[in-house]
Amino acid sequence: MATQILAEARTPATSVPDPRDALAVALDFPAAAQALAFVDRLDNTCRWFKVGMELFYAAGAPLVQALRARGFEVFLDLKLHDIPNTVAGAVRSVTQTGASLLTIHAAGGERMMRAAAEAALAPGSPRLLAVTVLTSIDAEDLAATGVSAPPAEQVLRLAHLAQQSGVTGMVCSPLEVAVLRAALAPGTKLVIPGIRPAGSTSDDQRRTATPASAIRDGASLLVVGRPITQASDPAAAAASILGEIAAAL
């Protein structure tokens, strides 16, 4: 069934992007063995995998290199946030892993992001993504941190700051995709977590949308975790989402 759905997802004309380039599966596992076993269950349905803090802190660079050796692209979601020199050093270290994307926090400010962007100019460096406002945060949460602006306004403010700092990719919730696509430079990569297929639960995400709506609004890459990793048939679940993406491209 998964093979049939995936074949349908690949049916658009060759001028239409491959939907597999628009989906990253979040490997939210505590150990490399579990993560790689899950990757095997997907049976090459997907091309991109997100490695977050939980898995990277447990498995480190060898896990990223193992995924790259299998031909996959890796989105390393470390959300770096520290003084400029420390973040720049971390970017240089990550370059050795072969990851294609790396997140930093836009809230770290212009000097931090500029230092990271300069470090990422080295050959083989990952493309940087500035995390704006986490999808688990709503207006009440922002207010508690002293930010009176609504999430959408804060996302736009931080995205402009990141762009001015030399960062050409952003992470935002699905609700801000259209605004950022219209406001930022052409070619800006918009990576979107908080994606939930129709009928699925939102879990701990507050600002969510379906794959099709996020793609239509201008998303570059969708990040999906539990709707795939907790499915009884992960390959079929991934293929179904790829079908939604293909229909929206």
215 touches 205 (CB < 8 A): no
In 3-state terms, what secondary structure has residue 23?
A: strand
- Where in 12-137 does DSSP place strands (E)? 23-26, 48-52, 73-80, 101-105, 127-131
Any idea which residue has 């939210």 for tokens? 28
- Taking alpha carbons only, the member of 145, 168, 174, 144 closest to residue 155 is 174
Cα–Cα distance measured from residue 197 to residue 241, given in angstroms and rounded to the nearest whole number:
7
- Taking alpha carbons only, the member of 221, 213, 177 closest to residue 196 is 213
Cα 54 from chain centroid? 15
Spatial neighbors of 127 by CB under 8 A, at least 6 apart, are: 100, 101, 102, 120, 168, 169, 189
- Give me the residues paired with residue 128 across strands: 102
Catalytic pick among 68, 79, 127, 157: 79
**CB-count burial class (<10 Å; 0-12, 13-18, 19+) for 131:** buried
202 touches 227 (CB < 8 A): no
**Sign of the CA dihedral with 60 first, then 106, 188, and 242 last:** positive
Any idea which residue has 């998964």 for tokens? 2
Q: Is 79 a catalytic residue?
A: yes
Catalytic positions, please? 79
